[in-house]
Amino acid sequence: GDEGAWGRHRKMQRNLALAALALTALMAVAVSGEVFFEENFDAGWEDRWVKSTFKAGDEGAWGNTAGKYYGDPDNKGLQTTTDYRWYDISAKTKDFNNKGKTLVLQYTVKHEQNLDCGGGYIKLAPKGVDQSKFGGDSDYSIMFGPDICGYSTKRVHVIFTYKGKNHLIKREIKPETDEKTHIYTLIVKPDNTYEVQIDLKKVQSGSLYDDWDMLQPKIIKDPKAFKPEDWDEREEIDDPNDKKPDGYDEIPKEIVDPDASKPEDWDDDSDGEWEAPTIDNPEYKGEWKAKRIPNPAYKGKWVAPDIDNPDFVDDAELYHVVKDNSLVGFELWQVKAGTIFDNILVCDDPEYAKAQAEKTIVPFQKGEAEMKESADKAEAEMRKAQEEAAKAKEAAGDDDDDDDDEDDDEDDKAKKEL
C-alpha cells in the first residue's frame, strides 16, 4: 500500500513539474519580444520629450489632443498646431541595435486638417545627437512614414542610412490621405527582407538588396571597353545600285499655271506687263534620295560587355542599420498644421506590435470613424435644413412681391375712377 501511495506521489510531482515547465515556456513566448520604446502621449509626455530649438523662431508649437473625432477622448496624441512651421522634437529610447533581430517601428498618423503639404514621418537616431538641436541636420538611421505635398508628392518614405549615406526605397508606397487615424508599420528582418504595413495590411515587401541601392551593383559595364572602329551600327544604308534619273535636277519646283489667262480689263500701260501666276509642279519630287535597304554589314547596337564590379562589397548584414539607437523623433515641415501622432512602438516582435494595435488602436479607429460619420451626417442634415429655409424665405419674398403688385393695381384703378 505504501509503495502505491509513493508511486502516486511521484507521478503527481512529475505532472506538476511538467505543468510548471509548460507555463514557463508559455510565459517565455508571451514576453519574448523586447520593447525598446513605447509612447501614447498620456500624462507627463512633456517630461519625456525634448522640443528642439533647431529652427529657432520658426519652430511650431506642439499640442496634446484626441482631435475633433476620436474613439476615446482621453486617448490623446501629439499635434502640430501652427501653419508654415518646422516641427522638431525627440525622446530617449533604450540603447539598442537590431543586430540578429527583427526590428519593428510602428505609430499612428492622423491628418485631420486634410493635409495639402507636409511631412508625417518618424526617425530613429543614434547616440550623440543633441536633442536641443535635433532637426534636419541630425544623423538618423531610419526615416519612415508618409509625406504629402500637392498632387506630385504622395508617398511613404522608407530611408535607411548606410555607411553615412541616406538611401530611399526605390518602390512606390502610397499613403492614406483622408482625415482619419492610420497605423504605419515598418518591419526589417535579419534575413535582409522588409515589410511595410498600413492599418495592419501589407502594402509593400521585398529584399533590402533589390529595393534600395545601398550596395554597389555586382555587375557593371566594362568602363575600359570601347566600340571597335569597324563596328557598323547602321540598320539601313542607301542602295548603291539606285541611280538618279537623267534630268532629275532640271525639274523645276514651280511652273507657270497653264490655265491662267490675262484678265480682259488688264491694261499693260497702267497695270504693267501681265505675268501668269506660278503653281507647284506636280512632276517635282523634291531632292533625290537613294532607296534605303537593310545594311548587310549591320552588327547591332554596340554594348560594353558586363564585368564583375571591382568595387562591389557584399554585406550579409545589410538589415543591421540601427547600430546604437538612442532617440526617436519627428523632424517635419508643415504648410498646413493639425496632424496628430500617437501610439509609437519600437520593438523586435511583429506579433506583439500587431496585438498592441488590435487591442488599443483598432477600437479607437472604429469609434473615430463612427463619430466622424455621425458628425458628417449631422452637418449634411443642417446644410439641407439651411438650404430649405433659404428656399422658403425666397418663396415667401416672391409672394409678398405679388401682393404688392396687386395692391398697386388696385390703387391705380381707384385713381382712374376718381
Q: Can you give the three-state secondary structure of 157-184, one letter per residue?
A: EEEEEECCEEEECCCCCCCCCCCCEEEE
Give the pLDDT confidence of 253-271 residue by residue, as tens digits. 888 888 888 888 888 888 8
- The answer for residues whose C-beta is within 8 angstroms of residue 251's C-beta and 6 or more apart is 281, 283, 284, 285
- Tell me the average pLDDT of the chain: 89
pLDDT for 22 equals 53
Q: How far is the C-alpha of 151 from the C-alpha of 170, rounded, in Å? A: 19
Q: How far from the centroid of its chain's Cα atoms is residue 270's Cα?
A: 78
CA distance 262 to 251: 26
| Sign, Cα dihedral of 264, 267, 271, 273 | positive
- Quick check: 288 pLDDT over 50? yes
Pairing verdict, β 153-162 and 236-238: unpaired
Distance of CA 95 to the CA centre of its chain: 30
Residues composing the chain: 418
Cα 398 to chain center, whole Å? 54
pLDDT in tens, 222-252: 999 999 999 999 999 999 999 988 888 888 8
Give CA–CA dist 97/108, Å, rounded: 23
Residue 318 vs residues 75, 99, 208, 365: alpha-carbon distances, Å: 37, 10, 7, 35
| Greater pLDDT, 106 or 252 | 106
Is the pLDDT at 210 greater than 60, yes or no? Answer: yes
Beta-bridged to residue 51, according to DSSP, are 89
Structure-model confidence comparison of residues 45 and 17, the more confident one: 45
Cβ-based neighbour number of residue 100 at 10 Å: 10
Average pLDDT over residues 313-323: 95
Dist CA 173 CA 158 (whole Å): 9
Query: Position of cell 501681265?
Result: 274
Does the pLDDT at position 32 exceed 60?
Answer: no
Positive or negative, the Cα torsion across 360, 361, 366, 368?
Answer: positive
The residues pairing with 318 across neighbouring beta strands, listed in sequence order, are none
- Cα(404)–Cα(293) distance, rounded to whole angstroms? 91
User: What residues contact 336, with CB distance under 8 A and at least 6 apart?
Assistant: 83, 113, 114, 115, 116, 117, 118
In percent, the amount of the chain with pLDDT more than 90 equals 68
**Per-residue pLDDT tens digits for 125-135:** 999 999 999 99
